[in-house]
Amino acid sequence: MKKVLISAAALAVLFLTGFAQDTSYSAGLQQHSDRIRSSDEGFASEEFRLGIQAFYKGSYNEAIFEFEKALSYLPDDNLILEWMGNAYYKAGLEGNALDYWQTASDNGYGGLLLLNKIEVVRERRVTGDLNDKYMKLVEAGGFPGIFNGVEIFSGPTAVLPDMDGTLWIVAYNSNQILQINLNGHVLNRITGPLEGFDRPVDLIRLADGNMLVTESAGDRLSLLDENGKFIKHIGSKGRGVGNLVGPQYAAEDAFGRIYVTDYGNRRIDVFDPDGNGLYFFGGKQIGFDGLKGPTGIAVIGESVYVADEDTGCIYEFDRSGNYIRDLVEKKTFKKPEAIKYYQNSLIVCDKNRIVNVDIDTGAVFEYMNMGKMPSRVTTAVPDVNNNILVADFIGNSVFVMAKKQELTGGLFVQIDDIDASRFPTVTVEIKVENRHRQPVVGLQEENFFFTEKKNPIEDFRFIGSAANNKFADVTIIVDRSISSMRYKAEIETAVKEIAASMDGQGTLRLISAGSVPVTEYIGKPDRIGDFSLDAVKNPVVNEASADLAIRLAANDLIRGSKKRGIVFISDGEAGLSSFAKYNLSDLSTYMNNNCIGFSFVQVSQIPMSQEYNYIIDNTNGKLYYVFRPEGLSDVYKDIVKLPQGVYQLQFVSSLPTNFGENFLPFEAEVYLLNRSGRDESGYFAPLQ
């Protein structure tokens, strides 16, 4: 699609002069620049301006109202039709958005860019499948150990992805751990303690943020802080409790205990969170001959899964070390190494291939096979961008693997916000996702390319990524239905615990969901420590209007922190009128399209209603029980950890504004490895 500078006052001129079927605004613009506009054109111009301003304020209902008034004057204006679709999309009404975009596209407007947007949004609505794990993987890019004749690393055995999109590579041969970004630039290089690492194999991040390295030749573990600084050694060479001989891979359970595959001792060693040896297991038991060559390990709930390269099998134990079963038949694998948890399954590296093993059935699905290429894949792990990062020891490379349809479909780029209040300095926010609504995290300035009126913008800078924010705004919704109010003490406990976990950061809102929602509190979270339901204004009702409460909560969060979430506290029961005003799909897409997380704290043990389950499942939400052993502090932590593909950049515009009356077009392209995406938008400078 080709856009150029155009005055909002002249929007209709092109359509009245024979260019309604052209995707370009440039054609014929100059020859009609002196044309006297009609009153309808003037009125439409002003309403369009107001709609644009409302859109960038996050007032999408107001924007829709203004665009409707603009269309009442110029019903066939394709630019207004497109923006009407944009406003409906952000308001969560994707069906309406598609109707307006399709009308503009049928008029010959928008080209392939608009067609692609229609296709992506329509595909999301039809399939609704964000997590299809049974798809073949293809290479989306990679990081070679030697680049332009210079050695970057040698003998990669493990990869640890971080939530900010960076990744750590364990280099066995060069005794180093490197941190690199998505563009392959080395950010950090760790050599360990004074004596250095001694053949590091695996690297995991612990729940407290620290990292743990297994050193095969050193017969020990090294504890590092979150940035890679050495803290201490754990374990020593030997055969007793707390001893190791050739440790391979490691995992951590929900209680902070560390499990290590001890290849030399043919067992699993277990350490407490402080690094003290607790016990070991893996010897002969009834129905089990004992481990022969333990390599990969994963802890999922109460189960410990261990790969054995000698038997070609994966065994399941409980956390105490009692043998449960063979997950797969012996000799299923030739040389299994690391195993990682992924969508209720295990990703297993097996010599020159990567497979998926269902932890319920043991069914095996092959993701990829390197064929006859010299390779030995040792670790394959999912990253924050839903790729699979693969360490190839013999190939001396780390590959980024993606689902085939993601690679061919490219990136879905959206210009979410443009602030021109300090024109000619303009600040933009850009959201980058894959085709399944999952955010792309870890981009840098070099991944963006900006143009105005198709001319490159040289003077722009990268301000930051929302993924790096360390706090979030939270809105708690309290269900005021009679059934939920039976759990008064539980609700009060949940509110206090979530507020305390915010540690005084961000803004906390409290909304009571009655027949109509009421905002009960806005302010710092530490000022609600004495919360009591007796102080809530909204009366108790038979059935709470959950939809109105969620909608109000989302409205308030749109202009809040870039990390934000709704926490709904209820017994989990929904009545016939709980979702009478807004349907579940529109509520879910409203939160998704505005990067708002959704969490549900259940204060009862009754079966959850299907309405709440639907929202949780379709917003990547999470369900928590109020009296779970680990408490509710993770509710806030999980909101902060939610990946965000929102980026803020700034540039200096060179376009003339005509005293603020011109609609100024802006285009953004995003490139990442072998994928790219594009969006076009526009804005108005302040009136002069």
What pLDDT, on a 0 to 100 scale, did the predictor assign at position 432? 97
DSSP notation for 24-92? -S-TTTGGGTTPPPPHHHHHHHHHHHHHHHHHHTT-HHHHHHHHHHHHHH-TT-HHHHHHHHHHHHHTT
Query: What does the alpha-carbon distance between residue 602 and residue 340 come to, in Å, rounded to a whole number?
Result: 30
Q: Which amino acid is at 328?
A: V
Query: What does the alpha-carbon distance between residue 72 and residue 61 come to, in Å, rounded to a whole number?
Result: 17
Average pLDDT score over the chain: 90
Ramachandran bin of 409, using left for φ above 0, alpha for ψ from -120 to 50, beta for the remaining angles: alpha
φ, ψ for residue 437, nearest 5 deg? 75, 5
Residue 8: pLDDT over 50:
no
Q: Determine the longest span between alpha carbons in the chain, in angstroms.
A: 93
Pure H helices in 440-593: 488-501, 546-557, 584-593
Residue 5: pLDDT over 60:
no
Q: How confident is the model at residue 511 (pLDDT cuts 50, 70, 90)?
A: very high
What pLDDT, on a 0 to 100 scale, did the predictor assign at position 294? 98
Cβ atoms of residues 220 and 233 within 8 Å: yes
Query: What does the alpha-carbon distance between residue 407 and residue 393 come to, in Å, rounded to a whole number?
Result: 25
Best CA proximity match to 143, nearest among 174, 166, 113, 110:
166
Q: How confident is the model at residue 133 (pLDDT cuts 50, 70, 90)?
A: low
CA angle 684, 555, 514 (to 5 degrees): 160
What pLDDT, on a 0 to 100 scale, did the predictor assign at position 402? 87
Q: What is the pLDDT of residues 170-221, one digit of tens each?
A: 999 999 999 999 999 999 999 999 999 999 999 999 999 999 999 999 999 9
What pLDDT, on a 0 to 100 scale, did the predictor assign at position 37? 60
Q: How confident is the model at residue 22 (pLDDT cuts 50, 70, 90)?
A: very low
What pLDDT, on a 0 to 100 scale, did the predictor assign at position 132? 61
Query: What is the C-alpha radius of gyration for the chain, rounded to an integer number of angstroms?
Result: 28
Best CA proximity match to 391, nearest among 224, 207, 161:
161
Long-range contacts at 611-615 (CB < 8 A, ≥ 24 apart):
611/546, 611/574, 611/578, 611/579, 611/584, 612/546, 612/568, 612/570, 612/572, 612/574, 614/584, 614/588, 615/550, 615/584, 615/587, 615/588
- The counts of H helices and E strands in the chain are 12, 43
Query: What does the alpha-carbon distance between residue 124 and residue 646 come to, in Å, rounded to a whole number?
Result: 20
Least confident of 37-41, 247-251, 376-380, 498-502: 37-41
Residue 251: pLDDT over 50:
yes
Q: In what order do the strands lie in the sheet with 313-318?
A: 294-300, 303-308, 313-318, 323-326
Reported as half-sphere exposure (CB side, CA atoms, 13 A), residue 369 has a value of: 4
What pLDDT, on a 0 to 100 scale, did the predictor assign at position 17? 29
Question: Of all helices (H) and strands (E), which one includes residue 683?
Answer: strand 675-684
Q: Which amino acid is at 609?
A: S
3-state secondary structure of 420: strand
The two beta strands, 236-237 and 243-244, are parallel
What pLDDT, on a 0 to 100 scale, did the predictor assign at position 30? 28
Best CA proximity match to 474, nearest among 528, 400, 547, 546:
528
Ramachandran bin of 678, using left for φ above 0, alpha for ψ from -120 to 50, beta for the remaining angles: beta
Cβ atoms of residues 32 and 17 within 8 Å: yes
The shares of helix, strand and coil residues in the chain, as percent rounded to the nearest 5, are 25, 35, 40
Query: What does the alpha-carbon distance between residue 294 and residue 296 come to, in Å, rounded to a whole number?
Result: 7
Sheet strands (E) in 287-335: 294-300, 303-308, 313-318, 323-326
Work out the number of other CB atoms within 10 angstroms of the CB of residue 127: 11
φ, ψ for residue 475, nearest 5 deg? -115, 120
The residues with which 649 forms a beta bridge, in sequence order, are 428, 462
The residues with which 45 forms a beta bridge, in sequence order, are none
Q: What is the pLDDT of residues 368-393, one digit of tens each?
A: 998 888 899 999 999 999 899 999 99
Best CA proximity match to 604, nearest among 583, 574, 579, 633:
574
Q: What is the pLDDT of residues 602-632, one digit of tens each?
A: 999 999 999 999 999 999 889 999 988 888 9
The tokens for 575 are: 């009545």
Q: What is the pLDDT of residues 390-417, one digit of tens each?
A: 999 999 999 999 887 777 778 999 999 9
The two beta strands, 455-456 and 460-465, are unpaired
